[in-house]
Amino acid sequence: MGIKVAKFGGSSLADAEHFRKVKAIIESDPDYRYVVPSAPGKRFDGDTKVTDLLYQCHRLVESGRSHEEPFRKIAERYTQIAAELELDFDVTGMLNETSEAIRRYKNPDFAASRGEYMNGVILSKYLDWDFIDAQDVIKFDRQGSFAAEWTNEVMGEALKNHSRAVIPGFYGSYPNGDVHTFSRGGSDITGAIVARAACADVYVNWTDVSGFMMADPRIVKDPKIIRELSYAELRELSYMGATVLHEDAIFPVHKAGIPTNIRNTNAPQDPGTMIVMKTSGDRENGQVITGIAGHKNFSLLSIEKAMMNSELGFGRRVLQALEDFGVSFEHLPTGIDTMSVVIADKELVTRKDQIIQRIQQTCQPDTIEISAGIALIATVGHGMSRTPGTAAKLFNALYEAGVNIRMIDQGSSEMNIIVGINIEDFETAMNAIYRAFVKD
Ligand code: ASP
């Protein structure tokens, strides 16, 4: 028998109907031993997440006003869930206590954490499983940084005493016991931490999509779901803007070598996406790429100087200028007498002229300019290194779509090819690359 840890997102626990789906999933597989719930999310477009209502409560309390109005909406949601599930449990008592504690503590993290806490209590009653309060087992240091090893020890010990338990997501505590939360979406992290401490065989992250898509569906119509990808590929894709999992959620499980499975609570029969240490290599119908992701709003700093290649320390002086102004860069493709640096626009806002001036002083280039309006697209996949002609196919697709390439960068792992293009070409380029590599 294996051990599985399941995390259910806010939309997977938004109402009683979803609680039933969750129970059916958990009961269908005895390997599920620990469950990490989020707070109830949106039930429909325009609905408000319980976590957002809790932050509203806190803001009102903080400014000396009554939080009755938003708390009433919160109370309605939990009362309805408990009533529809016919739970023999005093939800009203729990809600009154919570409302009073939010008023008394005046602490935003405490207020926000109650969404997960109350959902966790209700889910544990409904499943008839133990409840472990995350406040006791997820540890932050005094500065509020997550204390990974301390938590792993404390959590590992606690899990030994519970063969099945619900542990609410999103929060933990400072050394003095006060509640502290992760950033928004942080239940993903809690799930990964529990999976590591439980030495789970798999961390199953249940959400409202059937996995990680090969491209952003707002740009590419009906992109395919990625069946399997490695943690390294996921990192490349999420760095470039793809989102499904909270970024920090990858580290605990990646570190422990535990695969993550992204699944859809509303379509539990779908296999979802498996994120693994190393992909098996047999991509469906010979597909060489895993996914495409992109980001707008970059600038290209282009520098030219005759004989640059033989000038000792040239590159260092350019990068020193950036460092001196606290600017970090994304990519650094170089030619013999040219050097380009790709920088996110937000890094440059106030420092553009000073940087140019400094580089002029220290490097005396023949020409230097910064052009804005660049978008980056990363085409990612381990398969690319084994497949000749990948770059040719990519560039040809862009050529045929009439897209001018402003910059090319291929990581030394050959796991990705990044192209810089004009912002106006972003959507065209994404679609062209997708169509070139993905067969319907
Ligand atoms: N409920 C929290 C949020 O809305 C955490 C989470 O759902 O993961 O951000």
184 close to ligand 1 (CB < 6 Angstrom):
yes
Strand partners for 422? 374
In a domain, 8, yes or no: yes
Is it the case that residue 1 has pLDDT exceeding 90? no
Q: What's the confidence (pLDDT) of residue 385?
A: 79
What's the full length of the chain, in residues? 440
Q: How far apart are CA 76 and CA 228, in angstroms?
A: 40
**CB contact at 8 A, 219 and 38:** no
Structure tokens that stand for 274 in this block: 């498996």
Q: How far is the CA of 296 from the centre of ligand 1 (A)?
A: 26
**Reduced to 3 states, what is the DSSP secondary structure of residue 141?**
coil
pLDDT, position 349: 84
Task: Give the mean pLDDT of 58-62.
Answer: 98
Q: Of the candidates 208, 231, 255, which is a domain's last residue? A: 208
CA 283, CA 288: separation in Å to the nearest integer?
Answer: 7
How far from 383 is each of 230, 294, 377, 418, CA to CA, in Å? 11, 19, 18, 15
- Which residue is closest in CA terms to ligand 1's atom 8? 185
8 Å CB contact between 203 and 189 = no
Confidence tier at 239 by pLDDT (50, 70, 90): confident
* CATH code of the domain containing 143: 3.40.1160.10
The domain in which residue 413 lies consists of: 291-437
Between the CA of 185 and the centroid of ligand 1 the distance, in Å, is: 4
Report yes or no: 234 and 212 within 8 Å, Cβ to Cβ.
Answer: yes
In whole angstroms, give the CA distance from residue 76 to residue 71.
9
Decide if pLDDT at 281 tops 70: no
Q: Which of the four pLDDT bands, split at 50, 70 and 90, describes residue 355?
A: very high
Q: What is the pLDDT of residues 12-24, one digit of tens each?
A: 999 999 999 999 9
Tell me, yes or no, whether 267 lies in a domain.
Answer: no
User: What's the number of domains the chain is made of?
Assistant: 2
Evaluate: CB of 170 within 6 angstroms of ligand 1.
yes
Q: Is the CB of 115 under 6 A from ligand 1?
A: yes
In a 10 Å sphere around its CB, with 0-12 CB exposed, 13-18 middle and 19+ buried, how is residue 408 labelled? middle
Question: Cα–Cα distance between 356 and 351 in angstroms, integer?
Answer: 9
Q: How confident is the model at residue 271 (pLDDT cuts 50, 70, 90)?
A: very high
% of the chain residues with pLDDT over 90: 86
How many angstroms separate the alpha carbon of residue 247 from the centre of ligand 1? 14
Q: Using a 6 Å cutoff on CB, does residue 168 contact ligand 1?
A: no
The answer to whether residues 195 and 326 belong to one domain is: no
pLDDT number for residue 439: 81
Q: Is 350 exposed, middle or buried (0-12, 13-18, 19+ CB in 10 A)?
A: exposed
Confidence at residue 268, expressed as pLDDT on a 0 to 100 scale: 98
Please say which residue of 172, 190, 208 terminates a domain. Answer: 208
Question: Does the CB atom of residue 40 touch ligand 1 within 6 A?
Answer: no
CB-CB neighbours of 369 under 10 Å: 12
Mutation pick for ligand 1 pocket among 49, 167, 187, 248 (CB with most ligand atoms within 8 Å): 187
Ligand 1 contact via 191 beta carbon (within 6 Å): no
Find out whether 202 and 2 touch, Cβ atoms under 8 Å.
yes
Atom of ligand 1 nearest to the CA of 185: 8
What's the rounded mean pLDDT across residues 312-321?
94
> What tokens were used for 258?
């535990």
Are 300 and 418 within one domain? yes
Mean pLDDT of the chain: 94
Percent of the chain scoring above 70 in pLDDT: 98
Tokens found for residue 105: 């503590």
Residue 188, token pair as written in the block: 């993903």
Q: What is the mean pLDDT of residues 374-394?
A: 90
Q: Would the CB of 172 count as within 6 Å of ligand 1?
A: no
